[in-house]
């Protein structure tokens, strides 16, 4: 299966500010996610709760994408997010999302950032 259209759909959804809707559609029930490879969150429910906390904790101004790499069942997307944390200063947050796919869904995602 060519995952490129799914990767692009995630990019388009997030850039449109539809972070939770995109998560619901493209992430597997048993997805494992982590920040910098530490403190893995297991399962869609736990990860959606984490995503909800992120969405509710920031004002999202937009996102841009740099490099996108797709190789078999893996993808990597370089992101720059423009956001304001609640009660904080507006920031640009850069990260790379490394994803492993199975049957059209993300089964593992690690976010690498400073």
Dig out the tokens for 102 from the structure: 């199975």
Q: What is the pLDDT of residue 1?
A: 87
Range of the domain at 8: 4-112
Read off the pLDDT of residues 25-45 as tens digits, 9 standing for 90 and up: 999 999 999 999 999 999 999
Beta-sheet strands, E only, within the chain: 27-35, 38-42, 58-71, 74-85, 91-102, 105-112
Read off the pLDDT of residues 81-96 as tens digits, 9 standing for 90 and up: 999 999 999 999 999 9
Q: What is the pTM of this model?
A: 0.94
Q: Domain tally for the chain? A: 1
Read off the pLDDT of residues 50-86 as tens digits, 9 standing for 90 and up: 999 999 999 999 999 999 999 999 999 999 999 999 9
Q: What is the pLDDT of residue 37?
A: 92
């Amino acid at each position: 299966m060519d995952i490129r259209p799914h990767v692009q759909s995630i990019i388009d959804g997030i850039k449109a500010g539809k972070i939770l809707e995109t998560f619901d559609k493209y992430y597997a029930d048993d997805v494992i996610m982590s920040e910098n490879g530490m403190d893995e969150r297991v399962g869609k429910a736990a990860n959606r709760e984490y995503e909800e906390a992120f969405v509710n904790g920031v004002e999202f101004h937009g996102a841009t994408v740099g490099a996108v790499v797709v190789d078999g069942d893996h993808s990597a997307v370089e992101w720059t997010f423009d956001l304001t944390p609640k009660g904080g200063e507006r920031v640009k947050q850069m990260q790379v999302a490394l994803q492993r796919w199975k049957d059209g869904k993300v089964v593992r995602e690690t976010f690498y950032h400073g």
